């Protein structure tokens, strides 16, 4: 038994039946973390604490009938989610030592199930970007190719899972921040329906868009954690792919993608069609019209109100936060909104109206076409090299980095829909490609059943080279 290859549920079962010792498991994960420290997945850790916790569990003689479901499982927490045992820094200099007074409710839920906190993971500074090239905490590196980005903003969480440092992690997702790094690092990433999980105890960008999200190496693991955080049934009944209807919005989500990415996606879709999946071509004509006037307007307007509110618990003025910003892209975003180009209340109200129209467009297409999910490439490209913070090359053209990376994930986020990215293969360069499935509002458990069925029908992802 290789402890590193165990999924969350497999590890929990092995620990519960004593096929695997808690200390043995923790030491294997810690050794892997130390060996791959170059990837820079973490901001803060306490290995000695984990070792002591594991020893105590090995010495105890719990009743298997009463044992907590996640007893002894270390889970990584993105460093913008509050924990009392570690600072919550947001990856920015002014908060590196800021210790919250209470855990976020999602963290408490994990702890009450017996999970351990593996540490706090690296992120794009203040979660305001998609590369995780953080000038304060350092770039987080992709385990498939350390010269490339992990994706962001939850890059450290994705890297920790992909590199077998932990079996699962929490991230947060505003417009892409769980699904994008999951796709670029070859793991499963779930953004739930907005409001499905408690949102307190987060360093929010946009309270109306932000949500905690989940990462693991299997859909079953993500589904289990979703059940825990949403107080939903833990089981995920088997679903046959025969008759499952996937909407393919090709003009809106496929066009302009890297041909190598499309080749992997099309190969996967053909495999699903052979299993009985019905692929439904879609044209969502109003999608871009409503989406482009929604996302960034909502985030920028809400961010300059939510950040000062969060800082109050640390008695920190906004000026102190701004003085510690290290990443140029983040500094530019904040300076525009706090300076001469703020989003007005009128623009914000218009964006909220557009969001309602966007939600109506999605609802109509799901109903009219009897869709189980929309399916499309999570990202139109594979992970670009570290350092391309402003511009990336796609199809031989220079494109804005952030908008290019989040192009496919942002519309569903603005509508508050559940979305899951599952790894479906590697390009000829050996880089992961993610297939995103977006579900109708509130259809999280059905979406997870569809994702699990698709996962079973496709070849498993290999381990990253060198990991």
Evaluate if residue 23 carries a pLDDT over 70. Answer: yes
Instruction: Please report, rounded to a whole number, the percentage of residues in the chain having pLDDT higher than 90.
Output: 91
177 counts as catalytic: yes
* Residue among 113, 153, 206, 268 flagged as catalytic: 153
pLDDT in tens, 139-165: 999 999 999 999 999 999 999 999 999
Task: Name the pTM for this structure.
Answer: 0.97
pLDDT in tens, 255-311: 999 999 999 999 999 999 999 999 999 988 788 778 877 878 999 999 999 999 999
CA angle 416, 355, 361 (to 5 degrees): 85
pLDDT in tens, 120-137: 999 999 999 999 999 999
Range name among 220-229, 336-345, 390-399, 454-463 with the lowest pLDDT average? 336-345
Query: Quick one: pLDDT at residue 19?
Result: 95
Average pLDDT value for residue range 420-434: 98
Query: Quick one: pLDDT at residue 303?
Result: 94
Evaluate if residue 406 carries a pLDDT over 80. Answer: yes
Task: Verify cis geometry, omega within 30 degrees of 0, for the bond prior to 424.
Answer: no
Query: Quick one: pLDDT at residue 208?
Result: 94
Categorize the per-residue pLDDT at 187 as very low, low, confident or very high, splitting at 50, 70 and 90.
very high
> Who has greater pLDDT, 336 or 243?
243
234 vs 237: CA distance, rounded Å: 10
Residues near 339 by beta carbon (within 8 Å), at least 6 away in sequence: none
Instruction: Please report, rounded to a whole number, the percentage of residues in the chain having pLDDT higher than 70.
Output: 99
Q: Is 168 in contact with 116 (CB distance < 8 Å)?
A: no
Residue 178 corresponds to which tokens in the numbers above?
A: 């769980």
Strands 397-400 and 391-394: antiparallel
Query: Quick one: pLDDT at residue 65?
Result: 59
Query: Quick one: pLDDT at residue 64?
Result: 63
Query: Quick one: pLDDT at residue 101?
Result: 94
Burial pattern 313-352, b for ≥16 Cβ within 10 A else e, equals ebebeeeebeeebebebbeebbeebeeeeebeeeeeeebe
242 counts as catalytic: no
Instruction: Please give the domain boundaries of the chain with CATH numbers for all domains.
Output: 3-287+359-457 (3.90.1300.10)
Q: Is 119 in contact with 137 (CB distance < 8 Å)?
A: no
Query: Quick one: pLDDT at residue 68?
Result: 86
Query: Quick one: pLDDT at residue 63?
Result: 65
Average pLDDT value for residue range 337-351: 88
193 vs 385: CA distance, rounded Å: 32
Evaluate if residue 246 carries a pLDDT over 60. Answer: yes
385 vs 429: CA distance, rounded Å: 13
Evaluate if residue 395 carries a pLDDT over 60. Answer: yes
Q: Is 191 in contact with 173 (CB distance < 8 Å)?
A: yes
Q: Is 100 in contact with 93 (CB distance < 8 Å)?
A: no
Query: Got the DSSP string for 331-382?
Result: HHHHHHHHTT-PPPHHHHHHHHHHHHHHHHHHHHHHHHTT-SEEEEESSSS-
* Residue among 44, 150, 157, 177 flagged as catalytic: 177
Q: Residue 428 class from Cβ within 10 Å (0-12 exposed, 13-18 middle, 19+ buried)?
A: exposed
Q: Is 306 in contact with 206 (CB distance < 8 Å)?
A: yes
Facing residues of 392 across strands? 399
Evaluate if residue 66 carries a pLDDT over 70. Answer: no
78 counts as catalytic: yes
* Residue among 78, 206, 208, 443 flagged as catalytic: 78
Residue 26 corresponds to which tokens in the numbers above?
A: 């923790």
Distances (CA, A) of 122 to 139, 149, 154, 186: 8, 12, 7, 17
């Amino acid at each position: 038994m290789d402890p590193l290859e165990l999924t969350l549920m497999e590890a929990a079962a092995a620990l519960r039946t004593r096929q695997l010792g808690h200390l043995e498991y923790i030491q294997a994960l810690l050794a892997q973390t130390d060996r791959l420290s170059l990837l820079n997945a973490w901001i803060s850790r306490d290995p000695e604490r984990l070792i002591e916790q594991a020893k105590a569990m090995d010495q105890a003689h719990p009743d298997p009938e009463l044992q907590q479901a996640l007893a002894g499982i270390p889970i990584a927490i993105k460093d913008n989610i509050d924990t009392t045992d570690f600072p919550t820094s947001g990856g920015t200099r002014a908060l590196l030592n800021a210790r919250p007074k209470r855990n976020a409710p999602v963290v408490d839920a994990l702890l009450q199930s017996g999970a351990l906190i593996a540490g706090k993971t690296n992120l794009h500074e203040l979660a305001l970007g998609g590369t995780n090239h953080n000038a304060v905490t350092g770039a987080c590196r992709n385990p498939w190719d350390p010269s490339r980005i992990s994706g962001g903003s939850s890059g450290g969480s994705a890297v920790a899972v992909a590199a077998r440092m932990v079996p699962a992690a929490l991230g947060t997702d505003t417009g892409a921040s769980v699904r994008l790094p999951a796709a670029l690092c070859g793991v499963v990433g779930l953004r739930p329906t907005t409001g499905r999980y408690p949102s307190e105890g987060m360093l929010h960008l946009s309270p109306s868009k932000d949500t905690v999200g989940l990462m693991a190496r299997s859909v079953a693991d993500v589904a289990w954690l979703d059940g825990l955080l949403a107080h939903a049934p833990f089981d995920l009944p088997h679903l046959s792919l025969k008759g499952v209807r996937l909407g393919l919005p090709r003009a809106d989500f496929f066009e302009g993608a890297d041909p190598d990415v499309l080749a992997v996606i099309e190969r996967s879709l053909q495999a699903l069609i052979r299993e009985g999946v019905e692929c439904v071509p879609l044209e969502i004509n109003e999608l871009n019209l409503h989406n482009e006037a929604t996302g960034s307007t909502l985030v920028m307007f809400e961010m300059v109100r939510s950040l000062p509110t969060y800082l109050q618990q640390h008695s920190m003025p906004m000026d102190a936060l701004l003085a510690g910003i290290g990443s140029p892209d983040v500094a530019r975003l904040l300076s525009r909104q706090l300076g001469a180009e703020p989003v007005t209340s009128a623009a914000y109200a218009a964006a909220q109206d557009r969001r309602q129209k966007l939600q109506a467009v999605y609802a109509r297409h799901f109903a009219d076409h009897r869709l189980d999910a929309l399916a499309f490439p999570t990202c139109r490209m594979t992970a670009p090299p570290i350092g391309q913070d402003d511009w990336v090359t796609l199809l031989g053209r220079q494109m804005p980095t952030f908008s290019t990376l989040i192009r496919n994930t942002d519309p569903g986020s603005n509508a508050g829909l559940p979305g899951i990215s599952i790894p479906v293969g590697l390009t000829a360069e050996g880089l992961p490609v993610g297939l995103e499935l977006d579900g109708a509002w509130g259809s999280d458990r059905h979406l997870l059943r569809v994702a699990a069925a698709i996962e079973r029908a496709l070849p498993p992802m290999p381990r990253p080279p060198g990991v």
